[in-house]
């Protein structure tokens, strides 16, 4: 299935999507990358692939059913990896409607186009087809300090418009399996970090603010806990779930790395102190600044990923220190990428043949 896979990836110019594209491209026959190129879709994430004939970039919207149907047929797609989503909690608080439009309506239209295409495939094609939906642990709500980690059986309890929109999309994917027997698989991941992450997210924001001499804003008391997952470990888990997972199932993917935000920031500062010391000799920790907590800020997330470990043999390759060290090193080595995305220069560039 893998060597002859013809894969449609939605949102493949974003953070996780582009890392997934780089990860799986050597293992598939063709990869069609559909991305609307909104603020978080960055063509620079794909520049190294511009001469790769197996990678076909299409700028477009998952809500465009006609375009999606055309791509499925034209490229004889055998699997879909669905990453495209509005994903920033703060933005969803300011303006929920785009999150419902993309995450719920967009997923519905993508599912329906895929269902109609899958329905008309020959028997062997229907049996081989897969629809992998990438979601988040935020659909499960918030945990207390002593609560057990989220499992695949944890009831949904979303606390932000973003989380609610992703919960809605998860329910739609489940419904398409039970109603139409469509071959779907869902993954719910913990907080990702690593190369190519849009700098509004915690880790790249702290790295870039530190280097620019800006304050390091910390919500509330800094003790909100997340389970941190290195993005390349996530990509490996997604590909395993897509190629070996059981149909209709959900797999939780976590980094086995629970950590309060304040400790994340301290770790980043300490790595920068070692790799790129401040000119005045002071620690980057002196740039910390506590700010008012955001509305509906979940206290703790934690993932129980026993299911994917036992069924598919996956476990994260990176630990806390190695993953953060690689991440800080990547941002230090790619300052031009950082400057371009911060200035939104990438949105003005010609897309070329990516």
Partners of residue 35 on adjacent β-strands: 59
Find the catalytic residue in 35, 44, 138, 170: 138
The dotted CATH code for 6-196+229-258+300-316 is 3.40.50.720
* Cα Rg of the chain, angstroms: 20
Cα 215 to Cα 284, 286, 288, 290, 338, distances in angstroms = 9, 9, 6, 9, 17
Distance CA 330, CA 265 (A): 17
193 catalytically annotated: no
DSSP H helices in 159-281: 161-180, 202-211, 231-244, 261-275
Residue range 78-127, pLDDT digits in tens: 999 999 998 777 788 889 999 999 999 999 999 999 999 999 999 999 99
Distance CA 85, CA 89 (A): 12
All structural domains of the chain with their residue ranges: 6-196+229-258+300-316
First to last CA, the chain: 25
Instruction: Supply the mean pLDDT for the chain.
Output: 93
147 catalytically annotated: no
227 catalytically annotated: no
Distance CA 108, CA 96 (A): 18
pLDDT, mean of residues 278-304: 93
Distance CA 133, CA 345 (A): 31
Contact 13, 196 (CB under 8 A): no
Identify which of 227, 239, 155, 221 has the alpha carbon closest to the alpha carbon of residue 190: 227
pTM above 0.75, yes or no: yes
CA 150 to chain centre: 18
Residue range 133-191, pLDDT digits in tens: 999 999 999 999 899 999 999 999 999 999 999 999 999 999 999 999 999 999 999 99
Find the catalytic residue in 137, 170, 233, 298: 137
% residues pLDDT > 70 (the chain): 96
Sequence-ordered list of residues with C-beta below 8 angstroms from that of 134, at least 6 positions apart, any chain = 16, 81, 82, 83, 85, 187, 189, 238
In this prediction, residue 351 has a pLDDT band, given cuts at 50, 70 and 90, of very low
Partners of residue 130 on adjacent β-strands: 79
Residue range 47-80, pLDDT digits in tens: 999 999 999 999 999 999 999 999 999 999 999 9
What would the DSSP string read from start to end of 201-219? SHHHHHHHHHHTT--EEEE
Find the catalytic residue in 162, 176, 193, 301: 162
């Amino acid at each position: 299935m893998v060597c002859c896979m013809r894969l449609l990836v939605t949102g493949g110019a974003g953070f996780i999507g582009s890392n997934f594209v780089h990860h799986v491209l050597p293992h598939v026959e063709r990869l069609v990358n559909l991305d609307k190129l909104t603020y978080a879709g960055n063509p620079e994430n794909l520049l190294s692939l511009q001469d790769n004939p197996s990678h076909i970039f299409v700028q477009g919207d998952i809500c465009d059913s006609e375009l999606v149907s055309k791509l499925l047929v034209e490229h004889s797609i055998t699997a879909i990896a669905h990453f495209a989503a509005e994903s920033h909690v703060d933005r969803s608080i300011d303006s929920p409607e785009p999150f419902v439009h993309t995450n719920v309506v967009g997923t519905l239209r993508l599912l329906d186009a895929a269902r109609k295409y899958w329905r008309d495939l020959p028997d062997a094609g229907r049996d081989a087809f897969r629809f992998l939906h990438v979601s988040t642990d935020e659909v499960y709500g918030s945990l207390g300090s002593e609560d057990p980690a989220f499992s695949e059986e944890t009831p949904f309890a979303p606390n932000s418009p973003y989380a609610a929109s992703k919960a809605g999309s998860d329910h739609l994917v489940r419904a398409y399996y039970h109603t139409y027997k469509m071959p779907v698989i869902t993954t719910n991941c913990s907080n990702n970090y690593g190369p190519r992450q849009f700098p509004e997210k915690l880790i790249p924001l702290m790295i870039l603010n530190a280097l620019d001499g800006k304050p390091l804003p910390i919500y509330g008391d800094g003790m909100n806990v997340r389970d941190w997952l290195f993005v390349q470990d996530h990509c490996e888990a997604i590909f395993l779930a897509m190629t070996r997972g059981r149909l209709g199932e959900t797999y939780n993917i976590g980094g086995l790395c629970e950590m309060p935000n304040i400790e994340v920031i301290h770790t980043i500062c300490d790595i920068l102190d070692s790799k790129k010391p401040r000119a005045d000799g002071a620690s980057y920790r002196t740039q910390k600044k506590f700010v008012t907590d955001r509305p509906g800020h979940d206290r703790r997330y934690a993932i129980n990923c026993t299911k994917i470990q036992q069924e598919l043999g996956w476990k994260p390759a990176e630990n806390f220190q190695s993953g953060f060290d690689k991440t800080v090193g990547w941002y230090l080595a790619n300052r031009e990428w950082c400057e371009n995305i911060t200035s939104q220069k990438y949105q003005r560039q010609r897309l070329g043949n990516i």
